[in-house]
Structure 1
Amino acid sequence: MADESTPWPTELRVASDRKTLTVAFDNGTAHDLSAEYLRVCSPSAEVKGHAPSQKQTVPGKRNVEIIKVEPVGNYAVRIHFDDMHSSGIYSWRYLLDLGERPENHWGVYLQELAQKGLSRDI
Structure 2
Amino acid sequence: MNAENTELQAEPTDIANNKGMAILGYILFFIPLLAAKQSRFAMYHANQGLILFLALVAINIVSTIIPVIGWLLIGPLANLALFILAILGIVNAAGGKCKPLPLIGGFKLIHH
Q: TM-score, normalised by structure 1?
A: 0.26
Higher relative contact order (CA 8 A, sep 6+): 2
**Is the helix fraction higher in 1 or 2?**
2
**Is the strand fraction higher in 1 or 2?**
1
